Structure 1
Amino acid sequence: MVQAYILVQTEVGKAAAVATQIGDIPGVVSAEDVTGPYDVIVRAEAADVDQLGQLVVAKVQGTPGITRTLTCPIVHLT
């Protein structure tokens, strides 16, 4: 299982709607609208890196109102 945080910038006034739409995408664990340099923070998971990439590119980035995303895969350092 691969997990990542996806930091999302949206058009002005679109954060809540974008978070709601992204929250309905399979593989998205949570999508919260926040304040700061990013408007929405998403936690997503997939079976492998390829599926995670497909989730981000095909589904999340295709959501209307998004201007930019930054994907941060979760690593477990031991």
Structure 2
Amino acid sequence: MTTLVHVTPGRVVKIPAGNRTRKLPNTAFNVNERDPFWAALIRNGDLTLGEVPAQAAATPAKTATVAAAAPATAQATTGSATK
């Protein structure tokens, strides 16, 4: 039986693909919920059932950009660079 799932916001799920791993997309996709691998990811909260919420899909990228820019701005303003 297939179920529509997506990666829980704030988590990164990597799956084995041959001798490498690959990151799951942030979009919704179908999985067999009876497969032990997918069932464990759902049970542990790494995957969430249903479509990706529009707000959650846009928030992580925006937050990461703002968080990355904030420390550099604060350091330049205070002049606390180490020499």
Name the structure with the higher strand share: 1
Name the structure with the higher helix share: 2
Question: TM-score scaled by structure 1?
Answer: 0.32
For the pair shown, which has the larger CA radius of gyration, 1 or 2?
Answer: 2
Question: TM-score scaled by structure 2?
Answer: 0.31
